[in-house]
Amino acid sequence: MATALALARRGMRSRVFEKAPEFGEIGYGIQQGPNAYRMLDWLGVMKDLEPQAVFTRNLILIDALTDRELTRISCGDTFRAQFRAPYTVVHRRDLHGALLEACRKREEIALHTSKEFVSFTERGKNVVASFADGSEYEGIALIGADGLRSRMREILIGDGAPRPIGHVSYRGVVPFDQVKDQSHFDDMVIWVGPNLHFVQYRLRGGTVMNNVATVASGRFERGERRDYGGPDELAEVFSHTTPHVQEMLGYVGKDKNWVLHDREPRPGWTRGNVTLLGDAAHPTVQYLAQGACMAIEDAVVLSGVLKKAGSEVNAALLAYEKERYLRTARVTITSRIFGDIIHANGGARDLRNHLLAQRSPDTFWEIDWLYRGIEV
């Protein structure tokens, strides 16, 4: 939908095909770095989204074994001046709803549900997409934004299933008045410990608290690849954390979890007038909170090159891929490294804590390349 909006903003028509019977999102939070805020603002959705968004004051790292703060990034005036936007967190349904409403208002965009993409063929300079219900649609370009297990990627690249990294997340949203420790009002806090972390931030004008607990599974590491990271392993890994952190485990649901995957970054997402976007092209684990932000940046870049290209669609798609490849690869690789840092144990944990203690809250060099974002 971000891609359709970006194309419409530049005067181009598109159709969005979703395999589900309705456009919708699951009910958890999503963080938007300033790089994504600026893109969403350009797409015209921030005005609708802002009343629901929480403007994060600080990004805080706390040691889950001691409850001691390790470091923080202040998202105040210096941050906003440097990155030309604030850091915000929103409910996925609010973000999705704002995008959907904006799409519905544009006559350049047609929205189709219950359309499962199956395959494509080339017809002259055009592409014909075929769907499971037997329907076909023809256009000048086809963009596969079909997520982690992309059918379009299977056809274009065929590099198999995404790679499980052995980490599992549990999520939960609870009313804010049920949260015992309310000291981190408008902060995004990560409690970090050996093979675990816990993320917490408020949503929906501060009325609810979003919680994510993640474990790096020892069972997976030992080669026990079936049924790893279940609620019993979650409880076992968190059993070394402070009573406060263990109590927060009560805020996440145990009946459903997310097994985390990414892929080795690689180019080659474009063939003819067909390309990939978002997780289909460059899935990442969420440790920089940038998977969706990258998809939104992709959308803006792609619309820009297509606008300039005229009838040279293939050249435009190749230029888009070239512009996005190494930036998104850096997000994928840095997210893995960040995972190793937050899950550190023993001497690595001691060194991390020592180095982080020397940072100032207005130090941004680690994320400067990321949050400065792209130009429209």
Ligand X SMILES: Cc1cc2nc3c(=O)[nH]c(=O)nc-3n(C[C@H](O)[C@H](O)[C@H](O)COP(=O)(O)OP(=O)(O)OC[C@H]3O[C@@H](n4cnc5c(N)ncnc54)[C@H](O)[C@@H]3O)c2cc1C
Which parts of this chain interact with ligand X (CB under 6 A)? Answer: 17-20, 30-31, 115-117, 145-148, 151, 169, 212, 258, 278-280, 286, 289-293, 295
* Residue nearer to ligand X on the CB measure, 49 or 349: 49
Residue 159 carries which side chain, given as an amino acid letter?
Answer: D
* Residue nearer to ligand X on the CB measure, 9 or 349: 9
Q: List the structure tokens of 229.
A: 């990271």
Q: Which of 334, 320, 328, 300 is nearest to 38 (CA)?
A: 300
SS3 at position 53: coil
| Maximum separation of any 2 CA atoms in the chain, in Å | 65
* Residue nearer to ligand X on the CB measure, 33 or 304: 33
The owner of tokens 């350049």 is 108
CB of 145 to ligand X, least distance (A): 5
| Strand ranges, E, within the chain | 14-17, 29-32, 54-55, 58-63, 69-74, 88-91, 109-112, 117-123, 126-131, 136-139, 142-144, 163-175, 188-193, 196-203, 208-216, 258-262, 274-276
CB of 21 to ligand X, least distance (A): 10
Whole-angstrom distance, CA of residue 242 vs CA of residue 325: 41
* Residue nearer to ligand X on the CB measure, 67 or 372: 372
Taking the mean position of all CA atoms in its chain, how far away is CA 28?
12
* Residue nearer to ligand X on the CB measure, 147 or 218: 147
Angle formed at CA 45 by CA 39 and CA 48, multiple of 5 degrees: 145
Whole-angstrom distance, CA of residue 297 vs CA of residue 278: 9
CB of 211 to ligand X, least distance (A): 11
Whole-angstrom distance, CA of residue 238 vs CA of residue 249: 8
